[in-house]
Amino acid sequence: MFKGRTITAYLLIAGFVLPILLLVMLTFSANWVYPNFLPERFTLSNWNEFLFKNARLKQSFLNSLIIATAVSLFATAAGFITSRWIAYHKRRNFLLILSYFPYAISPVIFAVCLKFYFLKAGIAGNLAGVVLAQLIITFPYGIIFFTSFWNRKVKNYVEVASTLGSNDVITLKKIIFPIAKQFLTTCFFQCFIISWFEYGLTTVIGYGKVETLTINIFQFIKESNTYYASLSSCLLVVPPVLLLWFNKKFIFQQTR
């Protein structure tokens, strides 16, 4: 009995680790011809190309980083402020359902419906447009995330502080921020990952002009460039794996 459970646990974990191992192996591979199980030779040339030669891949990495950082910063701040207002609003249930809708709807379908306005505003096909489009899905996520923070306990703390003569700024600095620090960090990283992983919406609003790592992967797959697609995949997976190392909650966003 004990043995069966241990084997099941290790098989499950092996199934979760296998993709990373195989993708990493492919980044060091050359001439991986059928029916060989392993490539004919291992090489550093793919990594060498990325680190020292391929400007396109580096630019995509940078674009993904800039977009994800901007989106997560704003979504966290805006989500935090707005969620407080919703939490204490008399129509909070309705407002929450309204917040769920942009988050639950398929980003790519939402993007094709909104593309017209982005084109009219002249922000389709540039970084600002992609950041704004991603905010439309991450901001509601921020609101939903923080709803559990604004509970009775926090409300009581704020009321006690107010009774003792504290003003809004001091309450925010000395009471709310220290309690919310962990929530804010977690929300920031979860929004970062939603943005970091985004493909459908970015490809529609980015109009093929804003290259991110996810867009690169798709292009490499279409070109049948398995090694570069694996390398881009690894670059995409490494930051969340590192975040996972620090705190599991950082990457626990609801995967589509």
Partner 1 sequence: MTSRFKNIIPFSMLVILAIIPLVLGIGYAVSYSFGLTGVLNNGFTLAHWQTALSNKDVLMSFGYSILLSFVSIVLCVGAAAFLAFYIGDKLQSGRLSYFLYLPMAFPALVAAFFFFQFLSNGGFLSRFFFQLGFIKTIDDFPNLVNDKYSIGILAAQFFLTLPVFVLLNLSIIKNENIAALKTLGASLGAKRSQILFRVTLPVMLKKSFPTVVLFFIFKLGTYEIPLLLGRSSPEVISVITVRKMQRYNLLDIPQGYVIAVLYAMLVFVLLTLSLKPSKINMNV
Which of the residues 151 through 210 are near partner 1 (CB under 8 A)?
A: 151-152, 155, 168, 196-197, 199-200, 204
252 binds partner 1 (CB under 8 A): yes
Dihedral angle over CA of 23, 28, 33, 38, nearest 10:
-80
**Which one among 30, 73, 97, 179 touches partner 1, defined by CB under 8 A?**
97
Q: Where is 142: in which H helix or E strand? A: helix 127-146
Q: Minimal distance in Å, beta carbon 79 to partner 1?
A: 9
62 binds partner 1 (CB under 8 A): no
Name the nearest CA neighbour of 205 among 137, 140, 104.
137
Q: Minimal distance in Å, beta carbon 84 to partner 1?
A: 7
* 47 or 102: CB nearest partner 1: 102
* 33 or 164: CB nearest partner 1: 33
The CA-based angle 113-118-123, given to 5 degrees, is: 155
User: SS3 for 41?
Assistant: strand
Name the nearest CA neighbour of 145 among 200, 108, 96, 90.
96
Site stretch for partner 1 (CB under 8 A), options 42-50, 54-62, 65-73, 80-88 = 80-88
User: SS3 for 105?
Assistant: coil
Total residues in contact with partner 1, by rule CB under 8 A: 87
99 binds partner 1 (CB under 8 A): yes
User: SS3 for 32?
Assistant: coil
Residues 3-32, interacting with partner 1 (CB under 8 A): 5-6, 8-9, 12-13, 15-17, 19-20, 22-23, 26
Residues 225-244, interacting with partner 1 (CB under 8 A): 226, 229-230, 233, 236-237, 240-241, 243-244
Name the nearest CA neighbour of 199 among 102, 68, 101, 69.
68
